[in-house]
Each structure stands twice: as C-alpha cells, then as structure tokens.
Amino acid sequence: MVENDRVVSRHSGVVGKMDRQTPMLRSAIHELNFNPVWHLPPTVIEKDLVPKGQEMARKGQDVLAKFHIDAYGGDGKKLNSTKINWSSAAVRGLTYRQQPGPDNPLGFVKINFHNNYSVYMHDSPSQSLFGRNFRAASSGCVRIQGVEQVAAWLVQDQGWSQERVLEMKKSGERLDVRLKRPVPLYFVYITAWATEDGVIQFRRDLYNKDGVGPTASAY
C-alpha cells in the first residue's frame, strides 16, 4: 500500500498457478464485499469442480453438499444436488454459488476492481499458503495476507476502523461497501529490484516472463 509515494504496508500474496496466471493490469479498487457469495468461474467449474464431482460421484458422494455449493439451472431455479449427473456435458452449463462461511475460498472479504480477466483480490481460509516460498496456487485471483488491514485502509476515510472490519469477519454479515474514491491498483511482474538500503533482491521467475519481449531481446 502506498501513500504520498511511500510504501506504508507490504502484504504477501498468493497468485495464479502456471496454467492460470495472474494477469498484469492497471485498474482502480471500487468496492469491498464482506462475507461474499462465491460465484464459481468457468475455469474452476471445468478444471476443479466437474472432475471432483465425477470422482466423488463414483464413490457415492455429493461434492456440492460437501463444500456447501448450490447449483442453478438456466431458469435460475436451485437444483437437487443428488440428481446431478456429473458425467453429462450439461453440468458445465450450470451456475454454481457457494454461500459465505468457513469453507468459502474468498474468505470474509473480496476486493473488486474493473478488469477484463474476471480477477479480484480476497481473503483466504488457507492461511498456511502465505508461509510458502512458492505461492502460485490460485486460479488467477490474488489472495492477500493480512487482508483485514488492507480493507480497513481502503475505507478509512469512510469511517471504518480495523476493529470494525474484524467485527464484520466475526459476525459473518453480508455487506457491500462502495468506495467513495476509487484507489489506483497495479499488478506488475517484478523478479529483481533494489531496496532503499541498496540491497538487490531476486525472486523466482514464476511465469517465465524474464527474457521475453522487445526490451529483453535487445540484450
């Protein structure tokens, strides 16, 4: 987080896997969703939910019941999860939503910004991921460590404190908060930089982007 051209807080993140890379982009944060409903994106449905549904169905188990996910048909009506045929191509055309709760991958807050990639930033119930050196484990969105502090910082000029944010986490109340002043956001890909004390930092080239492009090819 940056104020007056100075970094005021740093937070570890979990980014997209190699086959679901987090994009580079420029946007502005405009909204927070506290205790959000997760609308499963097509990539997750195709690569995660359907294979898991097929695997569990062979064992006589219900993937939707296990993960508290609801399925809806084209008419918007909720379907009986026990009647879904996971071997049918039709399952890929259904709408899936997961209600707020401890199993929701978005955690207790989702941070929205306009972009063409359907990505956003959010909390995570899997806090152990932030302790890893290699943190490419998402489907393209960015999970933020210490997201409570980030959320409070984003809406501090609207009367919010970190204590109020933590109350939202504890209560489980659904609430959408639109920022009065959108906050600029940049996703950049950097594997080497210098700190203020002159120390050079290097990080793993997760997406194999170093050495790619007109600037790199000139050397």
Which tokens sit at 202?
């290097």
Give pLDDT, residue 132.
87
d(CA 139, CA 12): 17
Say if residue 138 is in the same domain as residue 124. yes
Confidence of residue 214 (pLDDT cuts 50, 70, 90): low
Among 72, 98, 124, identify where a domain stops: 98
- Domain assignment present for residue 200? The answer is no
Overall average pLDDT of the 72-92 stretch: 95
Confidence of residue 217 (pLDDT cuts 50, 70, 90): low
d(CA 106, CA 66): 17
Q: At what angle do helices 162-171 and 147-154 cross, to 10 degrees?
A: 120
- Domain assignment present for residue 201? The answer is no
Overall average pLDDT of the 85-110 stretch: 95
- Mean pLDDT over the full length of the chain: 94
Would you name the residues annotated as active-site residues?
122, 141
- Domain assignment present for residue 219? The answer is no
pLDDT tens track for 149-207: 999 999 999 999 999 999 999 999 999 999 999 999 999 999 999 988 999 999 999 99
- Domain assignment present for residue 209? The answer is no
Residues 6+ apart with CB under 8 A from 16: 22, 136, 138, 139, 140, 141
Overall average pLDDT of the 64-72 stretch: 95
**pLDDT higher than 80, residue 215:** no
Say if residue 113 is in the same domain as residue 181. yes
Confidence of residue 61 (pLDDT cuts 50, 70, 90): very high
Overall average pLDDT of the 111-118 stretch: 97
- Domain assignment present for residue 92? The answer is yes
Say if residue 28 is in the same domain as residue 43. no
| DSSP 8-class letter at 78 | B
Give pLDDT, residue 58.
96
Domain count, the chain: 2
**Boundaries of domain holding 174:** 2-37+105-188
Say if residue 184 is in the same domain as residue 129. yes
Give pLDDT, residue 145.
97
Confidence of residue 133 (pLDDT cuts 50, 70, 90): confident
Give pLDDT, residue 219.
52
Among 98, 122, 145, identify where a domain stops: 98
Number of H helices, E strands in the chain: 6, 14
